[in-house]
Structure 1
Amino acid sequence: MLLLRILLVGFFLFASVDACSPSDRAALLAFKAALQEPYLGIFNSWTGNSCCGGWYGVSCDPETLKVTDITLRGESEDPIFEKAGRTGYMTGSISPEICKLDRLTVLVIADWKGISGEIPKCLTKLSPLRVLDLVGNKISGEIPSDIGNLNSLTVLNLAENAISGSIPASIVNIGSLKHLDLRNNRITGEIPSDFGKLQMLSRALLGRNQLTGSIPDSVTKMYRLADLDLSMNGISGLIPANMGNMPVLSTLNLDSNRLSGQIPPTLLNNDGLGILNLSRNGLEGQIPDVFHPDSYFMALDLSFNALKGPIPNSLSSAKYVGHLDLSHNHLCGSIPNGSPFDHLEASSFTNNDCLCGNPLRTC
């Protein structure tokens, strides 16, 4: 009898190691009930009480046994995907019951292609949340207006959905935010004028939306920003003069907007800016003759603007220019000799007013 008691105690102790709290388990099951995943059996393991050990994509704090992490990716190298020979597909919506997981720090429900509905507004009450990644679904509605309450958030990825409305003004209060990706949605309105308050931000990817207004001057004071994508919007006005002085900016995509005025010289003599795309705007004036031996452009695209005058001779002094496109402008004069011009094709220079020289017609 004593041996039986010992065995029973040991069994229950072992079983309780992987058991999350009843309230967390109920919240997970409600979250599961609102989703349908027909091909991979992602939720087949979500049975019993061992939600901290055996439930796919769920992790817990080992001391409190509270759920801290839900990571469900529809595109993964996990064996469950390799065995099925396909990527994931899931429909349904994100249940507000998930907000009862009050210790949640990571919520990734990414690339399932068919999840719809809105972002539960109650998510903004999950103060421990550090990562919110809902990329690659069909989520609609607006970004919760009080998203700025998530003071611990470092990653906000809502790209490739059907989100509408404007960028909430409160977003600038997320002082810890490092990665912001809102690309390929239906977001309208202007970029908040005090967007530059996001001093920890290293990537701001807002392309392929319906944003209007101008680029806020405050952006030029974001000293950790390395990658800025505002492409394929309706942004107008001038490019801020000090944008080229941003110390770690390496990729700047402003193409397919309604920008006007001249190209700030600081953009072209910044030796850290490796990818610059200003194509398909209304930029005027001459290309600043400010290139130097430390200039290093993997891609420089100024096509489809209203630029005039000659191609700067100083571009020949650049250390490296990989892809260069100056086509569809009003440039005139001789194409300089030497690198990088000796490896470029005619398509880099076509549809200008009177350019000549290799690889175009002889002057």
Structure 2
Amino acid sequence: MNQTPLWVTFLSFFIILHTTHSLDAVVKSSLINFLSELSNNNALLNSVWNTSTDPCTDRWTGVTCNSRKNSVSRLNLTRLNLSGSFDASHLCNDQSLAASLSVIILDGNNIQGEISADISNCTQLSRLRLSQNRISGNLTGSLSLLSNLKRLDVSYNNFTGALPDLSRISGLTMFLAQYNQFTDKIPQFDFSNLRQFNVSYNDLSGPIPDTRGKFDLSSFFHNPKLCGDPLPNKCPPTPPSNLEGKKSKHVSKTRILIFSGYAVLGLLAIVFITWRICKRRKSEQKVEAVNNVESADDGNINKSKAFESRDYITGESKSELSMNSAESSLPSSSLVVLTSPVVNGLKFGELLRAPAELLGRRKNGTLYKIVLENGMNLVVKRIKDWAISSNDFKLRMQRLDQAKHPNILPALAFYCSKQEKLLVYEFQENGSLFRLLHGAQMGQAFDWARRLDIAAKISEALSFMHQELGEAGIAHGNLKSSNILFNKSMEPCISEYGLMAFDIQDSSTFANGFKCPAGAIAASSFAYKADIYGLGVILLELLTGRPMQKDGVDLTTWVHSVVREEWTVEVFDKGLISEGASEERMVHLLQVAIKCVNRSPATRPTISQVAAMINAIKEEEERSIVSEA
């Protein structure tokens, strides 16, 4: 039997080893060249991304490798203040890197430039997320060659031109392109697999393709030239054929005379009706003048000054937001503008003059949407039944303004008098978590990872506020999914923070339907525990997809009954099950939620403990995604 000489074996081993090192060097060089195109990253390059270290074993920032640590599978450089240009050629023209890279995430930076056609060489790419940058130019049609692509997010950029035809990508489940400058028609998509789709806030035109009823108005609005379902403006009828056009020219003179006669009769009828209305109004004005004289004689001359409003739902009824004449004559400085530059210089008179829409009545007051003369949309919260002095209210608002968090919606200004307490917020047009969960999903990504991210951010924001305002004892007091709003970047924000007060001296019913015996614990401590309960209910809504009350059954009662019967999987939202979300991690989050809604406030965990548990679940989820990639 022939045996391979020893020197041949060593030579082969040397060649393989040399090739491996050469390959690693090429990959490192490609990654470093890619990052070098992005400015403001010298610290990142010098500290970690350099040729003397290894992307996998030395854990380069944002780089994730496969389990064997011999290829790069994921690149996540979210919110690192990167700018410059996105040059896909450095990543996708390297054959080794292109064959292993499955995820590219560059959300929340200041990246500019265009996406080159080289992106199509990254054939294994399953996720491409470039949201919240300044990338411009056309969205390259070479994306259609990425047959493994499942999620594409290019929202909040400066893309122009037509959307590419991605109908050949049968596995695409998410396409988000809102807040760009796309034009032309919406191309055909394979809507059978798409779960998230949004092209709102562009300049698209023409008819909307048949989405099979999967996406509502919010996926297409603010495209004035679009038409067809689900938009209210219908598409114009198809132009008639040449034959029909010729026939239409031969309209008989008799028919023209008939139509002219109808037009004359209609005009006479309109003139007669207008004359009758004017006559009736004159008589009513005379009666009103007499009534005004009589009321003046009786001394009733003070009239309330109200916001002109339309009911948000019916469009007919007037709002109840009003000031008496004494208050409406107060100087404009009576409106206290907080540290936000958004409404710098806003005057109280501007609020009084602005048209208002009634958004809804809530437990502690009424909400109105107002539109200022400059076009800015604001929300005014009118608080009722709160026995707090003007000075205490002012101090509370100032303390809340000092405790700032990106996931807490701040008040922009407030007004306080003996009769009125008003708060001014920026209008959040993307709606609430309640609406997203239990109403139309707006075409937004709302899979398991998104829900878990929302849970983590809400808990972290609440933990921050509890710690910052611990001495002052200011809790939220009314935490629920309808008070979680989404800003322009679809980030969750807790709204109406600190507008509920608790009086421990009476054993009245507190938040979330539970009573606290007088003197059992401090009022502020119980208020914090009530926040924990509210957060627990939100977690249950995220997990189950059910509202707080359904068919007269309380959500917490229903969850306990199902879990008690050991049917835990039946609790979870069917959408999460069909998505293939981790049952283990959903159970872990369910256990956190159940701890939060314990009927005994004293046994509920602290908010810092809740935030730590949720973040641990989120980290476990992220590690799982990396290993699967």
Q: Structure 2 CA distance, aligned partners of 1:58 and 1:18?
A: 19
Of 200-209 and 93-102, more deviation after overlay is shown by 93-102
Distance 1:40 1:212, change over 3 A: farther
Deviation at 1:220, TM superposition (A): 1.9
Which residue of 1 is the match for residue 129 of structure 2? 133
| CA displacement 1:60-93 (0-9 Å, x = unmatched) | 2233712111100116xxxxxxxxxxxx243344
DSSP 3-state at the match of 1:200 = coil
Identity %: 21
Which residue of 1 is the match for residue 54 of structure 2? 50
Which residue of 1 is the match for residue 219 of structure 2? 229
Contact 2:88/2:118 (CA < 8 Å) preserved in 1? no
1:219 to 211, 215, 218: 211
Query: Is there any run of 5+ residues in structure 1 with no aligned partner, and where?
Result: 1-16, 76-87, 241-253, 262-323, 333-339, 349-363
Q: Structure 2 CA distance, aligned partners of 1:106 and 1:346?
A: 43
The amino acid across from 2:212 in the alignment is T
| CA displacement 1:214-260 (0-9 Å, x = unmatched) | 222x21255xx5895112112443325xxxxxxxxxxxxx5xxx724
Query: Is there any run of 5+ residues in structure 2 with no aligned partner, and where?
Result: 1-19, 236-310, 318-358, 370-629
Deviation at 1:20, TM superposition (A): 6.9
DSSP 3-state at the match of 2:132 = coil
Superposition TM-score, scaled by structure 1 size: 0.55
DSSP 3-state at the match of 2:184 = strand
Distance 1:38 1:130, change over 3 A: closer
Deviation at 1:210, TM superposition (A): 0.7
Contact 1:19/1:50 (CA < 8 Å) preserved in 2? no
| 1:210 matches 2:213 | no
Which residue of 1 is the match for residue 65 of structure 2? 60
Deviation at 1:43, TM superposition (A): 5.9
| CA displacement 1:31-77 (0-9 Å, x = unmatched) | 022111258636630012411132111112233712111100116xx
Distance 1:341 1:135, change over 3 A: closer
Matches within 5 A, 1:292-307: none
Distance 1:25 1:60, change over 3 A: same
The alignment yields a C-alpha RMSD, in angstroms, of 3.9
Distance 1:112 1:96, change over 3 A: same
| 1:159 matches 2:155 | yes
Aligned residues: 235
Matches within 5 A, 1:126-275: 126-169=122-165, 171-192=166-187, 194-195=188-189, 197-216=190-209, 218-220=210-212, 222=214, 229-239=219-229, 259-260=233-234
Of 140-149 and 43-52, more deviation after overlay is shown by 43-52
Kindly name which structure, 1 or 2, has the bigger radius of gyration based on alpha carbons: 2
| 1:98 matches 2:101 | no
Distance 1:126 1:231, change over 3 A: same
The amino acid across from 1:57 in the alignment is G
Superposition TM-score, scaled by structure 2 size: 0.33
Deviation at 1:167, TM superposition (A): 1.0
Question: Going by fraction, where is helix more abundant, 1 or 2?
Answer: 2
Which residue of 1 is the match for residue 626 of structure 2? none
DSSP 3-state at the match of 1:135 = coil
The amino acid across from 1:188 in the alignment is T
Distance 1:260 1:23, change over 3 A: same
The amino acid across from 1:199 in the alignment is S
